[in-house]
Structure 1
Amino acid sequence: MENSDHPLLHWIPNKLIEKEGEVYFEWIYLGDKRYLDPFFEETLVKCADHPDNLKRFKVVSSADNLIDWAAQLVSAELKAFVFHVSRCGSTMLAQSLAVSPQNIVIAEAPIIDAIVRSELFDLDKKRVLIKAVIALLGQKRFPDEKNLIVKLDSWHIFEAGELRSIFPELPFVLLYRNPAEVLKSHSKLKGMHMIPNLLPSKIFGITNKEIEEIGFHQYSAVVLEKYFQAYFDFQQKDQNVLVYNYKDGMRDILEKVIDLINDDYYIEEIDQMYERLKKHSKNETNVFSGDSFMNENLAMDLSRVNHLYEKLEQKLSGQLADRN
């Protein structure tokens, strides 16, 4: 069956629900909405008032239903996972790639995070579910769609080994940035992962005792330490990883990712992707003029995270020299 004939075309799972010991997935109808917003959840909000989503009874399924249905729909080819330490250009990269109608770009889909962090499934079922949900989100809904790129949440770097076991051949792109710049960005508006207890601290390998000892401000630096250590460890043991520093310039990073996708883009599409870099990542109506950081005191000790950053830089520089 072609996707155009399938009753689930434009339907995707968007919520994981546990009720009375049973696990269900709630589905949402997308209509003609492409994933063009900076974050996947913004697209879902825009779809909420579609008549099919306002009916009294929601569309729900079991995990097994979801897995079976995913096999019935044709999906775009998964080309890369994008990992990031936050505030390091990943949203800009995703927004630029999404300009091309040949690309489906999923940016931090809550349903992926819900399954990755769920303890409701055994490991084998979780692996199958992750593949099935990504396939459903990446279903070919429009004629030009060919490539699927998934930008994960920043804390999914701690699941990189498990994700590698599910997708053994998939390129993993790791984006990072000077720690002080990341933390200065968060000092203006903190992401949820930088505030103690908004996400379970065990995700980052931080104990409750450590939280008490380090305090509120230092917590952000410690989270970033954990990210950089995970980056260093993973790129050391995995051969299919591409690691890019924001300081290298987003145009250069975008060019490398376009090469990685290895598709036959029209020159106009590539020009439009580069043009998107000139706009603000989270609001394309505003011109991006670069980050403006004051010389504010971050009130935290960056010695450990800076050491890990420099260690990663040295490792990557050595690898580059070896290749040349």
Structure 2
Amino acid sequence: MENTDHPLLHWIPNKLIEKEGEVYFEWIYLGDKRYLDPFFEETLVKCIGYPENLKRFKVVSTAANLIDWADELASAELKALVFHVSRCGSTMLAQSLAVSPQNIVVAEAPILDAILRSELFDPVQKRALIKAVITLLGQKRFPEEKNLVVKLDSWHIFEAGELRSIFPELPFVLLYRNPTEVLKSHSKLKGMHMVPHLLPSKIFGITTKEMAEISFQQYSAVVLEKYYQAYFDFHETDQNVLVYNYKDGMRDILEKVIDMINGDYYIEEIDQMYERLKKHSKNEGNTFKGDSFLSENLAMDLTSVNHLYEKLESKLSGELTDRN
């Protein structure tokens, strides 16, 4: 199947809109923009000025339209979903993979988060929508595109079971890192999930009672606790999971993911992907010189989160020993 003359070529669903009890999807035209920015939303912002997106009447569809249309477009083969605890190398991994024109890398698409968190769909329709949206985001817009990798938002680890039901055979890549390093990175500039009330606490499985007892500073550590517990629990029950610690080195992690994708890469492409690791993940113009963390202690109790991290480390190293 070719997309060359399909009317939806270069169009993707962009926003979920609820109006008078009905749900619609607004679409955006991408032109010739590849997904090369550290975050998907940055690419979308660059597309807003296209004439197709400035018209008074927007391109809008129903959920049923969207699901039907996804079947009409050829998509690159989905090779992995990438989960992460934030500040653990996922953006660097995504940016390096995106260097190859054979790879489509979708990094934290807002439309996927909107559907995953929505309560407007029944479970069957939600699963069909997630699958259709990933197909549309991964449409083959350029001839060389073959592989699709989707990096999710960090809190989507709590949707791993649901996503596994949609993609039963797909490798799930889980990235994590020493909690002190993650939290020190957030102490310089907090991600939205680390600030109380910016996202509903129930996303993380934090109860109203817990919220009343957690200090502003401690909240970040509790969110990370929930992440590590979710990693441990999912890894317990799922065999098709690749779990990598940032301390293993990004080159080693990238090499393993490239092997897993099993793409038909040229040597030059692989060299360029490794070369990208030397630049800052969120700013390719700057050389990456390693993280510079604050030397003072974090104003939070890390006992529980460190215990969960060590529990996960112990489980993974035990499995590695068994295999060898």
Q: CA deviation at 1:182?
A: 0.1
Separation in structure 2 between the aligned mates of residue 312 and residue 210 of structure 1, nearest angstrom: 23
Separation in structure 1 between the aligned mates of residue 10 and residue 208 of structure 2, nearest angstrom: 43
Residue in 2 that maps onto 1:94: 94
SS in 2 for 1:130: helix
SS in 1 for 2:198: coil
What do the CA deviations read for 1:243-296 (whole angstroms, capped 9, x no partner)? Answer: 000000000000000000001100000000000000000000000000011212
Residue in 2 that maps onto 1:16: 16
Separation in structure 1 between the aligned mates of residue 186 and residue 298 of structure 2, nearest angstrom: 10
Q: CA deviation at 1:209?
A: 2.2
Residue in 1 that maps onto 2:124: 124
SS in 1 for 2:18: strand
Residue in 1 that maps onto 2:30: 30
Residue pairs, 1:180-195, within 5 angstroms: 180-195=180-195
Residue in 2 that maps onto 1:266: 266
| Partner AA of 1:154 in structure 2 | S
| Partner AA of 1:187 in structure 2 | S
Residue in 1 that maps onto 2:243: 243
TM-score, length-scaled by structure 1: 0.99
In the alignment, does 2:110 pair up with 1:149? no
| Partner AA of 1:83 in structure 2 | F
Separation in structure 2 between the aligned mates of residue 223 and residue 294 of structure 1, nearest angstrom: 21
| Partner AA of 2:322 in structure 1 | D
Separation in structure 2 between the aligned mates of residue 279 and residue 114 of structure 1, nearest angstrom: 31
Residue pairs, 1:253-292, within 5 angstroms: 253-292=253-292
| Partner AA of 1:201 in structure 2 | S
Separation in structure 2 between the aligned mates of residue 164 and residue 209 of structure 1, nearest angstrom: 30
Q: CA deviation at 1:5?
A: 1.1
Residue in 2 that maps onto 1:158: 158
Give structure 1 regions of 4+ aligned residues with deviation exceeding 6 angstroms: none
Separation in structure 2 between the aligned mates of residue 78 and residue 63 of structure 1, nearest angstrom: 22
Q: CA deviation at 1:191?
A: 0.4
Residue in 2 that maps onto 1:209: 209
Q: CA deviation at 1:207?
A: 1.6
Separation in structure 1 between the aligned mates of residue 21 and residue 78 of structure 2, nearest angstrom: 33
Moved more, 207-216 or 71-80: 207-216
Moved more, 121-130 or 206-215: 206-215
Separation in structure 2 between the aligned mates of residue 168 and residue 200 of structure 1, nearest angstrom: 28
Q: Which runs of 5+ in 2 are unaligned?
A: none
Q: CA deviation at 1:110?
A: 0.2
Separation in structure 1 between the aligned mates of residue 193 and residue 40 of structure 2, nearest angstrom: 17
Moved more, 205-214 or 17-26: 205-214
Separation in structure 1 between the aligned mates of residue 2 and residue 184 of structure 2, nearest angstrom: 49
Q: CA deviation at 1:297?
A: 2.0
| Partner AA of 1:228 in structure 2 | Y
Residue in 1 that maps onto 2:320: 320
| Partner AA of 2:71 in structure 1 | A
What do the CA deviations read for 1:206-256 (whole angstroms, capped 9, x no partner)? Answer: 122212211100000000000000000101110000000000000000000
What do the CA deviations read for 1:85-114 (whole angstroms, capped 9, x no partner)? Answer: 000000000000000000000000000000
Aligned-residue RMSD, C-alpha: 0.6
| Partner AA of 1:252 in structure 2 | D
Residue in 1 that maps onto 2:139: 139
Q: CA deviation at 1:147?
A: 0.1
Residue pairs, 1:64-83, within 5 angstroms: 64-83=64-83
Separation in structure 1 between the aligned mates of residue 121 and residue 175 of structure 2, nearest angstrom: 30
Aligned residues: 324
Separation in structure 1 between the aligned mates of residue 310 and residue 295 of structure 2, nearest angstrom: 21
Separation in structure 2 between the aligned mates of residue 102 and residue 137 of structure 1, nearest angstrom: 15
| Partner AA of 1:234 in structure 2 | F
Residue identity over aligned pairs, in percent, reads 86
Q: CA deviation at 1:175?
A: 0.1
Separation in structure 2 between the aligned mates of residue 81 and residue 12 of structure 1, nearest angstrom: 19
Separation in structure 2 between the aligned mates of residue 21 and residue 236 of structure 1, nearest angstrom: 40
Q: Which runs of 5+ in 1 are unaligned?
A: none
Separation in structure 2 between the aligned mates of residue 80 and residue 322 of structure 1, nearest angstrom: 25
